[in-house]
Copies of this chain bind each other. A is one copy, B any other.
Amino acid sequence: MDVAPVLIAGRWRPADAVGSFRAENPTLGEPFGAQFPVSGWADCDAALAAAAQAAPELAALPAEQLAAFLDDFAARVEATRDAIVGMAHQETALPAKPRLDEVELPRTTGQLRQAAAAAREGTWALPTIDSKANIRSLLLPIGPVAVFGPNNFPLAFNSVSGGDFAAAIAAGNPVIAKANTSHPGTTKLLAEAAFAAVQSAGLPPAIVQLIYRTSHADGERLVADPRLGATGYTGSRGAGLALKRAADAAGKPIYLELSSINPVVILPGAIQQRGDKLAEEFTSSCLMGTGQFCTNPGLVLLLASEATERFVGGLVERFRSSAAGTLLSNRVAVSLVESIGKLQAAGATLLVGGARDTGPRASVANTLLRASGRQFIHHAEALQTEAFGNASLVVVADDVDELATVIELLEGNLTGAIYSHSGGGDDALYACLEPALRRRVGRLLNDKMPTGVAVSPAMNHGGPYPATGHPGFTAVGIPASLRRFGMLACYDNVRPERLPAALGDRNPNGRMWRSIDGAWTTADVSATGKS
Contact = CB atoms under 8 A, between A and B. Distances in A.
B56 A435 contact: yes
B459 A490 contact: yes
Interface string A304-321: 000000000000000000
Nearest to A453: B492
Contacts of A464: 487
A107 interface: no
Given A251-B469, A252-B465, A456-B133, A447 B493 contact: yes
Interface in A139-161: 139-140, 142-143
A56 to B, nearest CB: 5
Given A492-B443, A493-B446, A458 B56 contact: no
A486 B459 contact: no
B490 A442 contact: yes
Q: What is the oligomeric copy number?
A: 2
Chain A, interface size category, equals: 35 or more
A480 B128 contact: yes
Interface in A226-265: 244-245, 248-253
A95 interface: no
Given A457-B515, A458-B128, A248 B253 contact: no
Interface in A26-47: none
A133 B457 CA distance: 10
B487 A471 contact: yes
Contacts of A493: 445-448
Nearest to A412: B251
Interface string A402-434: 000000000010010000000000000010001
B458 A135 contact: yes
Contact of A489 (B245, B249, B442): B442
Contacts of A434: 498
Interface in A451-508: 454, 456-460, 462, 464-466, 469-474, 480, 483-484, 486-495, 498
Nearest to A519: B513
Contacts of A515: 457, 513
B249 A137 contact: no
B488 A460 contact: yes
Interface string A127-139: 0111001011101
A60 interface: yes
Interface centre among A252, A492, A495 (most CB of B within 10 A): A492
A439 interface: yes
Given A446-B498, A519-B513, A520-B513, A458 B139 contact: no
A139 to B, nearest CB: 7
Given A252-B465, A470-B253, A472-B253, A488 B442 contact: yes
Contacts of A253: 470-472
A458 B488 contact: no
Given A130-B457, A135-B454, A488 B513 contact: no
A98 interface: no
Contacts of A462: 488
A519 B434 CA distance: 30
Given A434-B498, A519-B513, A492 B444 contact: yes
A25 B204 CA distance: 59
A56 B139 contact: no
Given A56-B435, A470-B253, A490 B460 contact: yes
Given A130-B458, A137-B459, A519-B513, A251 B466 contact: yes
A56 B459 contact: no
Given A252-B465, A493-B446, A458 B498 contact: no
A518 interface: yes
Name the 4 nearest CB pairs between A and B, nearest first.
A251-B465, A520-B520, A460-B490, A471-B487
24 contacts: A56-B435, A56-B436, A129-B458, A130-B454, A137-B459, A140-B438, A142-B472, A143-B439, A252-B465, A442-B489, A442-B490, A443-B489, A443-B490, A444-B489, A444-B491, A445-B493, A447-B493, A450-B492, A457-B517, A458-B490, A471-B488, A472-B483, A472-B486, A474-B490
